[in-house]
Structure 1
Amino acid sequence: DYDGDRVDEWEISCADEVLYLDREDDDELEWTLSKKIRLNDIDGDLRSHLKEHEDPPETISYNGIEYSAESSDVGHFYENCGDEGQEFIVWDYLDSSEKRTLSIEQWGDDEHEASAGNIVEEFQFSDILPSG
């Protein structure tokens, strides 16, 4: 049984926008709010780099902001707290202010997703209600 750090994620949708609120407990509580971005919107040929090197580069530029590699982890995604988790790899990046985040996830052998967002504070959120 792996006893690693836990990250909880909530999908927040309003009209046609979907955001992801993450709470990570890694020695201290950290919150991020992000949205999915297209890999092609990241400067350079990220897909080719991933195929050739199996890891993304140490620095990445997106929307005119340069991000530096902060960490990489292997995790398991449990949808709705289910029993069977899907394994993935995540590479996390921060900008120089350490307030903007960018993450690249690998699912399976060659499926990749990316997201960009900001580090936020818990007090910035209230009254998040479940859909349905």
Structure 2
Amino acid sequence: MVNFRKWLGKKESEDTSYQDLTLELMTAGFLVDYDLETWEVIGVNVYDYDGFQTQEWELRCNNEMRFLERAEDDGQIEWTLTRRVPLGEVEGDVAGAILDGGDPPEVVTYKDRAYNAVESSTGIRRPFDDGGGEEEAGDDDEGGEFVSWSYEGEDRRVLYVLQRGEREFVAYEGEYVEEYQFTEILPSPETG
């Protein structure tokens, strides 16, 4: 059989294999399908919890934002997909409890679902550049140091509360997901 790549002068190493693309290889501009919608990667971040690192992909579809996080511990990989939720909708006065005594409630409720405290940790969030390394967080982004409290509910649901600075709190709610739920991973039209 005639090898047209060789005949036309294109090297095989130049050929992009879309079958080899995985979630962890995604960078800004990539597209991925999840739950019958196409999401665009608009940012990639690294969270460093005193040497334990996780990766986060910021995904956008229309006006919705989601955060896909990958954590690996002892060879086990866990994925969570969350969205930002108003902290005021989380019952249990999390911010007030933290500001008063330093610890949030052991159980909080969001949309009639109870979440139990699992762990707390401190960390640093840094943007991940496309060159394969970490960038220093600037003053104009949401990078930098934070304290995180993790909660788990039934049916693989998760809720995270992050504190940045003395009085800035944000909450994220979502679920554990599996890598196979994400399909059709495509590079950015500019790079692919």
Q: Is the pair's TM-score, using the shorter chain for normalization, greater than 0.5? A: yes
CA–CA distance in structure 1, aligned partners of residues 189 and 146 of structure 2: 27
**Structure 2 residue aligned with 1:30:** 78
Do 2:108 and 2:115's aligned partners in 1 also have CA atoms closer than 8 Å? Answer: yes
Q: CA RMSD in A?
A: 2.0
Residue 93 of structure 1, aligned match among 134, 151, 173: 151
Q: How is 1:1-132 mapped onto 2 (pairs within 5 angstroms)?
A: 4-27=51-74, 28-80=76-128, 81-84=134-137, 86-97=144-155, 99-126=156-183, 127=185, 129-130=187-188
CA–CA distance in structure 2, aligned partners of residues 72 and 110 of structure 1: 17
In structure 1, stretches of 5+ residues that fail to align are none
Aligned residue-pair number:
130
CA–CA distance in structure 2, aligned partners of residues 128 and 112 of structure 1: 34
CA–CA distance in structure 2, aligned partners of residues 130 and 73 of structure 1: 34
**C-alpha displacement of 1:53:** 1.7
CA–CA distance in structure 1, aligned partners of residues 157 and 186 of structure 2: 23
Q: Larger Rg: 1 or 2? A: 2
Structure 1 counterpart of 2:176, one-letter code: I
Structure 2 counterpart of 1:86, one-letter code: G
SS in structure 2 of the partner of residue 57 of structure 1: coil
My pick for the range that moved more, 119-128 or 101-110, is 119-128
> With CA pairs under 8 Å and 6+ residues apart, which has the higher RCO, 1 or 2?
2
* Identical positions, percent: 35
In structure 2, stretches of 5+ residues that fail to align are 1-48, 129-133, 138-142
Decide whether aligned partners of structure 1 residues 58 and 82 sit closer, same or farther in structure 2, where only a CA change above 3 A counts: same
Decide whether aligned partners of structure 1 residues 109 and 130 sit closer, same or farther in structure 2, where only a CA change above 3 A counts: farther
Do 2:92 and 2:105's aligned partners in 1 also have CA atoms closer than 8 Å? Answer: no
CA–CA distance in structure 1, aligned partners of residues 167 and 52 of structure 2: 25
**Structure 1 residue aligned with 2:19:** none
